[in-house]
């Protein structure tokens, strides 16, 4: 049989395309993943019982840097981001992701992942942002060895899962870079962290609402000099608001509703940067201090469902009046 030379009306366009492809591949030589990285990511896939169609797209290309949800970067073109939020993933989180030595951001939020959160990820020496919120993760957070070296983790969101057990205290000794911890809407028990900011001085957000924490508000929070948000509502906290809490003048949002907190709130006006204050649904007593009017930035105040008495401070009446005008 004789091969007929095929007539190609688009040969010029074809050469142009080939040239373009060559240029593109020359322009981004660093962006190809190592066999180890590909293997770590494929192990993640292997641990999933539903992958939301990822396998189909991932298996199409050998270079994992071009896979959906994966970003490579840095001087060596390593995998730096794994962003697989809201992908309908089911199954467990593979500890193999801890082998991605250049990984900075891992976001698996809004899936239906179950099982535990691998220690390899929590104690990763590269991850800066770890968000596994809105899943069905269970078990406790493993105690990290206090001897472990300082971790780079800054944002840790484990909110809205099924975690139980006490909050490991040694976390604060190794997570020295922590800026935001969001552990809300789980079933953690025991005391809330006693002196989190001695180990993690940059802590700005501590969100622990909707858990089963008990005991008092620890005086050791006074060491939190840049804490902006403290949320521990809907727990079983009791005792009085300690004077030391009123030293955390960086606080902008203090939210402790629906606990069993008692006593008066006389020192509250020392928290002069407060924008929102929610102490509703406790057993607080005494009157609302006149000095509450000193909180010039205050926009939201909840003190309902307590056992407070006395006159409404004139400053608040003023506020009411000016809002109505």
The distance of closest approach from Cβ of residue 244 to ligand NAG in the complex, given in angstroms and rounded to an integer, is 6
CA distance 312 to 316: 7
Which are the contacts of 272, defined by CB distance < 8 A and separation ≥ 6?
249, 294, 295, 296, 297
| 256-277: burial string, b at 16+ Cβ within 10 Å, e else | bbbbebbeebbbbbbbeebebb
Nearer to ligand NAG, 157 or 269 (CB): 157
Nearer to ligand NAG, 80 or 182 (CB): 182
The distance of closest approach from Cβ of residue 251 to ligand NAG in the complex, given in angstroms and rounded to an integer, is 13
The distance of closest approach from Cβ of residue 255 to ligand NAG in the complex, given in angstroms and rounded to an integer, is 9
Q: How many secondary structure helices (H) and strands (E) does the chain include?
A: 7, 21
Identify the residue whose tokens are 């969101």.
157
**Secondary structure (3-state) at 270:** helix
Cβ(184)–Cβ(210) below 8 Å: yes
> Residue 16 is encoded by which pair of tokens?
């142009």
CA distance 224 to 198: 8
The distance of closest approach from Cβ of residue 308 to ligand NAG in the complex, given in angstroms and rounded to an integer, is 9
What is the binding site for ligand NAG (CB under 6 A)? 36, 39-40, 85-86, 95-96, 98-99, 107, 109, 120, 129, 131, 133-134, 155, 157, 159-160, 180, 182, 184-185, 198, 205, 207, 214-215, 222-223, 229, 238-239, 244, 283, 307, 309
The distance of closest approach from Cβ of residue 250 to ligand NAG in the complex, given in angstroms and rounded to an integer, is 14
End-to-end alpha carbon distance in the chain:
94
The distance of closest approach from Cβ of residue 160 to ligand NAG in the complex, given in angstroms and rounded to an integer, is 4
> Residue 117 is encoded by which pair of tokens?
């959160």
Query: What is the DSSP-derived secondary structure letter of residue 115?
Result: E
Residue nearest to ligand NAG (CB): 157
> Residue 224 is encoded by which pair of tokens?
């939190």
The distance of closest approach from Cβ of residue 34 to ligand NAG in the complex, given in angstroms and rounded to an integer, is 10
> Residue 274 is encoded by which pair of tokens?
């407060």
The distance of closest approach from Cβ of residue 14 to ligand NAG in the complex, given in angstroms and rounded to an integer, is 40
| 54-80: burial string, b at 16+ Cβ within 10 Å, e else | beeebeeeeebbbbebbebeeeebbbb
Nearer to ligand NAG, 168 or 220 (CB): 220
CA distance 131 to 293: 38
Cβ(298)–Cβ(275) below 8 Å: yes
């Amino acid at each position: 049989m004789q091969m007929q030379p095929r007539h190609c009306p688009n040969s010029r366009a074809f050469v142009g395309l080939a040239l373009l492809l060559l240029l593109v591949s020359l322009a981004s030589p660093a962006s190809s993943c190592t066999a180890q990285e590909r293997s770590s990511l494929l192990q993640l896939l292997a641990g999933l019982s539903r992958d939301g169609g990822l396998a189909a797209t991932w298996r199409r290309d050998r270079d994992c840097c071009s896979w959906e949800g994966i970003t490579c970067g840095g001087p060596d073109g390593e995998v730096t981001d794994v962003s697989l939020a809201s992908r309908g993933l089911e199954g467990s989180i593979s500890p193999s992701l801890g082998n991605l030595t250049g990984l900075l951001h891992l976001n698996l939020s809004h899936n239906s992942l179950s099982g535990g959160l691998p220690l390899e990820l929590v104690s990763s020496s590269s991850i800066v942002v770890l968000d596994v919120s809105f899943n069905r993760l269970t078990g406790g957070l493993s105690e990290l060895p206090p001897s472990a070296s300082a971790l780079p983790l800054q944002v840790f969101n484990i909110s809205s899962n099924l975690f139980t057990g006490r909050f490991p205290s040694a976390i604060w000794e190794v997570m020295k870079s922590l800026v935001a911890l969001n552990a809300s809407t789980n079933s953690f028990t025991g005391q809330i962290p006693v002196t989190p900011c001695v180990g993690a001085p940059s802590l700005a957000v501590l969100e622990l609402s909707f858990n089963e924490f008990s005991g008092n508000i620890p005086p050791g929070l006074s060491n939190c000099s840049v804490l902006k948000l403290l949320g521990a509502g809907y727990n079983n906290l009791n005792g009085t608001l300690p004077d030391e809490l009123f030293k955390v003048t960086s606080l902008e949002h203090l939210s402790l509703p629906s606990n069993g907190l008692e006593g008066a709130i006389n020192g509250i006006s020392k928290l002069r940067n407060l924008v929102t204050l929610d102490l509703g649904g406790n057993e607080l007593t005494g009157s609302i201090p006149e000095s509450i009017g000193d909180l010039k930035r205050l926009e939201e105040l909840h003190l309902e469902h307590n056992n407070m008495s006395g006159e409404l401070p004139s400053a608040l009446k003023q506020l009411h009046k000016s809002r109505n005008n």
